[in-house]
Structures are given as structure tokens and as C-alpha cells.
């Protein structure tokens, strides 16, 4: 039986000269292709009312949270820092509702970049609104202009973690974020870090709660790195 993967979608507004500023719901193609290649059936869940989250989750087997905008800081008790970038409150609230329902309905969650950070917020943690607020920060975590297919910094992975099964004890990843986990939610554990201590992967402390988050972007490298594809294969077929 095919595993149905719900991908929480994002939204952009096309330029005014294209359909007069048409709103577009989307997800990066890499997620769609990687899930299909792993034998899953991807479905994009458009930003919707919080009340619809239960119905969406009931129709999928697993949930994927993608990257994108910064997370509204009031959701973790802070005012916006001057270095905060674009936020989308409608997306934040809908995805928080999806997380709540996925946990309630015992559906596995795989989260990438912003998605990993949002899980931490949903479960009671906080974020650095910008890495400059972390006194230990010393690695470039936004690798532009280097292309995303190239891994640019190392991570160390906890032995015995889910991620260790796929990547082993160390790995190199691409990196596109200026925010990061600050205070970790009580029900989570960090299972990979960069050398400056930034959380690069999280899992649940409860073995029955199937949850995995990574800070990098495997959807941009799975077609050239077999371990990155193995991560999607694990999500679709085992998590």
C-alpha cells in the first residue's frame, strides 16, 4: 500500500504583471520528486484555517514540514528583533495546528530547516531570531552564493540516534538558515550539531513519537548523494 505524504505548502504572490499578483500555493519540487522516488505519494497541503488541520492529517499517513520564512517570534514569547526576516503568520498557525494533530493522531513527522524550528516552538522551545544572538556562532550557516548541491560544513551525529543509522557519526551538509534552536523543547533531544554547537537534527525523547527534524536541505542534494536520498527513503518507508 502506497504511503501518502502530506507536505505543508508555502505561498507566494506572483509579480503584478503575471495574472495581476496571483497567489500561488507550492512546495519545492525536490520534496515531491524524492518522495515519489522512495515510493510515496506526495500531497501538498495548502495554507488553510487551523480548524481544517485535523481533516488534512486524517487523510495522510505522514507529515513533512518544509523550509521557508522565519517564524513569528511572539509564538515563543519574543518581540521581533531588527534582523528578523519575512514571516507568514497564517502559515505558522496552520503548521502548528498540523503538528498538534499529527502528534494527536500518531502520524510520523519529518521536518526540514524552518520545519524543525517550528516543531521546537510547537513543543515549548525557543529560537535565536538571528544567529548573531548566539555568542558561540562561528560557522557560515547561510552558504549563498555557493550552490545548494554542495555540502559546506560538517555535523557530528549522536550514536544510537535515528540519523546515525543513515549517515553514521559525521557528515557534511548544505546550509541555508539564519535562525536556530535556542532553548530546546523538553520533549525533544538534539541528535546532531555543527562544531559551533548549533542544533542540526532533533528527535523525540519518546520512542513512540516518530519525529525527525534536520536543519539542512536534503531535498536539494538527494539526487547526487545517496545518503540524502536514504533519508527520504527512511521517512517514507520506516519512520
Q: Is 217 known to be catalytic?
A: yes
Give the residue among 108, 94, 119 at the shortest CA–CA distance from 8.
94
Cα distance between residue 39 and residue 99, in whole Å = 23
Q: Which of 95, 113, 141, 200 is catalytic?
A: 113
Helices assigned H by DSSP within 181-222: none
C-beta of residue 49 within 8 angstroms of C-beta of residue 95: no
Q: Which three-class secondary structure state does DSSP give residue 233?
A: helix
C-beta of residue 63 within 8 angstroms of C-beta of residue 109: yes
Cell output for 40: 510515496
Terminal-to-terminal C-alpha distance of the chain? 15
Phi, psi (5° rounding) for residue 179?
Answer: -110, 165
Q: Which of 95, 101, 217, 228 is catalytic?
A: 217
Q: Is 78 known to be catalytic?
A: no
Q: Which three-class secondary structure state does DSSP give residue 49?
A: coil
Q: Kindly give, in sequence order, each residue whose CB lies less than 8 Å from that of residue 96, ignoring residues fewer than 6 positions away.
A: 50, 75, 118, 121, 122
Q: Which of 95, 101, 219, 228 is catalytic?
A: 219
Q: Is 200 known to be catalytic?
A: no
C-alpha dist (Å) from residue 210 to 59, 102, 204: 18, 10, 7
Provide the annotated active-site residues: 113, 217, 219
Amino acid at each position: 500500500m502506497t504511503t501518502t505524504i502530506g507536505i505543508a505548502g508555502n505561498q507566494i504572490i506572483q509579480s503584478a504583471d503575471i495574472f495581476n499578483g496571483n497567489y500561488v500555493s507550492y512546495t519545492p519540487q525536490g520534496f515531491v520528486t524524492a518522495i515519489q522516488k522512495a515510493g510515496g505519494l506526495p500531497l501538498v497541503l495548502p495554507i488553510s484555517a487551523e480548524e481544517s488541520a485535523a481533516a488534512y492529517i486524517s487523510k495522510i499517513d505522514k507529515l513533512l514540514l518544509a523550509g521557508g520564512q522565519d517564524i513569528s517570534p511572539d509564538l515563543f514569547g519574543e518581540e521581533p528583533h531588527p534582523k528578523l526576516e519575512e514571516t507568514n503568520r497564517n502559515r505558522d498557525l496552520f503548521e502548528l495546528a498540523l503538528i498538534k494533530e499529527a502528534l494527536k493522531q500518531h502520524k510520523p513527522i519529518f521536518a526540514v530547516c524552518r520545519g524543525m524550528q517550528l516543531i521546537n516552538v510547537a513543543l515549548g522551545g525557543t529560537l535565536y531570531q538571528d544567529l548573531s544572538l548566539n555568542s558561540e556562532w562561528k560557522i557560515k550557516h547561510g552558504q549563498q552564493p555557493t550552490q545548494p548541491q554542495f555540502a559546506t560544513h560538517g555535523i557530528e551525529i549522536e550514536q544510537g540516534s535515528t540519523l546515525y543509522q543513515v549517515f553514521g557519526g559525521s557528515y557534511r551538509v548544505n546550509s541555508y538558515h539564519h535562525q536556530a534552536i535556542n532553548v530546546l523543547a523538553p520533549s525533544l533531544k538534539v541528535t546532531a550539531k555543527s562544531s559551533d554547537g548549533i542544533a542540526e537534527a532533533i528527535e523525540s525523547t519518546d520512542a513512540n513519537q516518530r519525529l525527525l527534524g534536520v536543519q539542512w536541505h536534503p531535498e536539494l542534494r538527494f539526487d547526487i548523494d545517496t545518503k540524502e536520498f536514504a533519508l527520504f527513503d527512511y521517512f517514507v518507508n520506516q519512520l
